[in-house]
């Protein structure tokens, strides 16, 4: 146990995800040693992020104003919507620069164990966005795990009757990998999702 505020800092850091007691201690002492200006800037950002950042009223992504940058961008395709679980999935897909449509962030996946049902996700908001008929294709980009698949299946049942084109991200072999090292589930999925070559 350290004295007063040093221990407080270690305790606070230790509550962050992925940081154990030893890492917390290392970071605390790094901060003690660091330039006061750097630490001040770090502290300011922490305060600012809680005060300024909000969630986009349209898509649920993190934003600094009423609407996020992507929803506000008139060049983005209005007819395609990509549904993801978290804001960080938006960033991941944006990095690809392949997708020019807009997003809808659900805020998680259906998981009864964690007490999360459809009402706890932004599904009602999704349905409202579809009401005016501008959106014609929905890409379901939830995680390829049990909960992500369940959420995608649930949404498919909800969306299909609306006459939209509903697609699911393909799952299969990683690019740059070796076929022989792929696990059997991934390889099996890749077989199921194979396509004709021209």
Partner 1 sequence: MHVTHLSLHDFRSYPELELPLEPGASAFIGANGQGKTNLVEAIDYLATLGSHRVAADAPLVRVGAERAVVRASVERGDRTALLEIEITPGRSNRARVNRGPLPRPRDLLGWLRSVVFSPEDLRLVKGDPSDRRHFLDALLILRSPRFAGVRADYDRALRQRNSLLKTARQAGRGKGLETLDVWDGQLAAYGGELLAARLALLDELGPYLAAAYRDVAASAAAERTAAVAEYKPSFDHPDTRDRDVLREAMAEQMRERRRDEIDRGVSLVGPHRDDVVLSLGDLPAKGYASHGESWSFALALRLASYDLLRADGDDPILILDDVFAELDRDRRSHLADRVTEAEQVLVTAAVAEDVPTGLRGRRYDVAAGTATRAEEATDA
Q: How far apart are CA 143 and CA 109, in angstroms?
A: 8
Regarding 110 and contact with partner 1 (CB under 8 A), the answer is yes
- Closer to partner 1 by Cβ: residue 36 or 115: 115
Minimum CB separation of residue 142 from partner 1 in Å reads 12
Q: Which of residues 24-63 bind partner 1 (CB under 8 A)?
A: none
Minimum CB separation of residue 71 from partner 1 in Å reads 28
For residue 112, give Cα distances in angstroms to 83, 109, 124, 125, 134: 20, 10, 18, 21, 33
The region of 3-11, 99-107, 110-118, 131-139 touching partner 1 under the rule CB under 8 A is 110-118
Regarding 17 and contact with partner 1 (CB under 8 A), the answer is no
The region of 48-56, 95-103, 136-144, 148-156 touching partner 1 under the rule CB under 8 A is 148-156
Could you tell me how many residues of this chain bind partner 1 (CB under 8 A)? Answer: 17
- Closer to partner 1 by Cβ: residue 153 or 167: 153
- Closer to partner 1 by Cβ: residue 34 or 146: 146
**Residue with the two structure tokens 């070796």:** 178
* The one among 153, 172, 189, 190 contacting partner 1 by CB under 8 A: 153
**Residue with the two structure tokens 């962050």:** 16
- Closer to partner 1 by Cβ: residue 117 or 193: 117
Are the C-beta atoms of residues 172 and 189 closer than 8 Å to each other? yes
Task: Give me 115's structure tokens.
Answer: 């007490």
Positions in the binding site for partner 1 (CB under 8 A): 110-113, 115, 117-118, 146-147, 149-150, 153-154, 157, 183-185
């Amino acid at each position: 146990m350290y004295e007063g505020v040093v221990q407080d800092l270690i305790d606070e850091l230790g509550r962050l995800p992925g940081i154990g007691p030893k890492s917390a201690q290392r970071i605390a002492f790094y901060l003690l040693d660091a330039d006061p200006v750097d630490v001040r800037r770090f502290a300011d950002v922490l305060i600012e992020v809680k005060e300024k950042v909000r969630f986009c009223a349209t898509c649920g992504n993190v934003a600094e104003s009423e609407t996020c940058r992507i929803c506000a961008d008139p060049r983005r395709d209005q007819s395609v919507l990509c549904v993801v679980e978290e804001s960080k999935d938006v960033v991941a897909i944006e990095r690809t620069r392949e997708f020019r449509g807009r997003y809808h962030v659900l805020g998680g996946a259906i998981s009864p164990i964690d007490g999360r049902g459809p009402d706890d996700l932004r599904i009602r908001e999704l349905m409202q966005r579809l009401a005016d008929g501008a959106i014609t294709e929905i890409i379901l980009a939830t995680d390829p795990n049990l909960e992500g698949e369940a959420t995608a299946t649930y949404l498919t049942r909800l969306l299909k009757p609306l006459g939209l084109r509903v697609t699911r991200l393909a799952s299969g072999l990683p690019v740059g990998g070796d076929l022989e090292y792929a696990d059997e589930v991934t390889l099996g999925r890749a077989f199921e999702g194979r396509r004709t070559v021209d």
